[in-house]
Amino acid sequence: MASPHAPALRILFVCLVCIGIGQSMLFSILPPAARAIGISPFQVSTIFATSASIWVFVSPWWGRRSDVRGRRPIILAGLLGYALSMFSLAVVIEVGLAKRLPAVLIYPMLIVARSLFALLGSGTGPASQAYVADRTSLTERTAGVALVSAAMGVGETLGPGVGAALAAVDMLAPLYLAAVLAVISGFMIRRYLPEDGPPLSHTEPRPSRLSFRDGRVAPFVLVSAALQAVRATTAITLAFFLQDTLHLSPAQTVQYSGVGFVTMAVAGLLAQLVFVQRLQPTARQMLHTGVPLTVAAFVILTVGGSYPAYLVALFLLGVGLGLTRPGSAAGASLSVGANEQGAVAGLVTGVAVLGNVIGPMVGTSLYAVRPIGPYVLNTAIMGGAWGLLFANRRLRNLRS
Tell me the pLDDT band of 25, cut-offs 50, 70 and 90: confident
pLDDT in tens, 137-171: 777 777 777 777 778 777 877 777 777 778 778 88
Mean pLDDT, all residues of the chain: 83
Whole-number pLDDT of residue 1: 46
Whole-number pLDDT of residue 281: 85
pLDDT in tens, 67-121: 888 888 999 999 999 999 999 999 999 999 999 999 999 999 999 999 999 999 8
Whole-number pLDDT of residue 211: 66
Q: Which of 231, 230, 224, 307 is nearest to 265 (CA)?
A: 231
pLDDT at 201 exceeding the cut of 60: no
Rounded alpha-carbon distances, angstroms, from residue 16 to 13, 178, 181, 331: 5, 12, 10, 21
Tell me the pLDDT band of 209, cut-offs 50, 70 and 90: low
pLDDT at 236 exceeding the cut of 90: no
pLDDT at 397 exceeding the cut of 60: yes
User: May I ask the CATH architecture of the domain 6-192?
Assistant: Up-down Bundle (1.20)
Whole-number pLDDT of residue 287: 92
From 110-124, 223-237, 331-345, the region with the lowest mean pLDDT: 331-345
- Dihedral sign for Cα atoms in the order 129, 131, 133, 136: negative
Rounded alpha-carbon distances, angstroms, from residue 26 to 156, 208, 384: 10, 37, 33
pLDDT at 204 exceeding the cut of 60: no
Whole-number pLDDT of residue 196: 61
pLDDT at 188 exceeding the cut of 60: yes
Q: What CATH number labels 218-396?
A: 1.20.1250.20
Distance in angstroms (rounded) separating the CA atoms of residues 75 and 346: 12
Whole-number pLDDT of residue 6: 67
From 340-354, 359-373, 380-394, the region with the lowest mean pLDDT: 340-354
Rounded alpha-carbon distances, angstroms, from residue 69 to 198, 244, 345: 5, 52, 15
Is the pLDDT higher at 84 or at 366? 84
Rounded alpha-carbon distances, angstroms, from residue 275 to 14, 137, 142, 155, 182: 20, 19, 12, 19, 29
Ranges of CATH 1.20.1250.20 domains, the chain = 6-192, 218-396
Distance in angstroms (rounded) separating the CA atoms of residues 65 and 32: 37
pLDDT at 5 exceeding the cut of 70: no
pTM of the model: 0.76
Distance in angstroms (rounded) separating the CA atoms of residues 72 and 192: 10
From 81-95, 195-209, 291-305, 327-341, the region with the lowest mean pLDDT: 195-209
Whole-number pLDDT of residue 41: 67
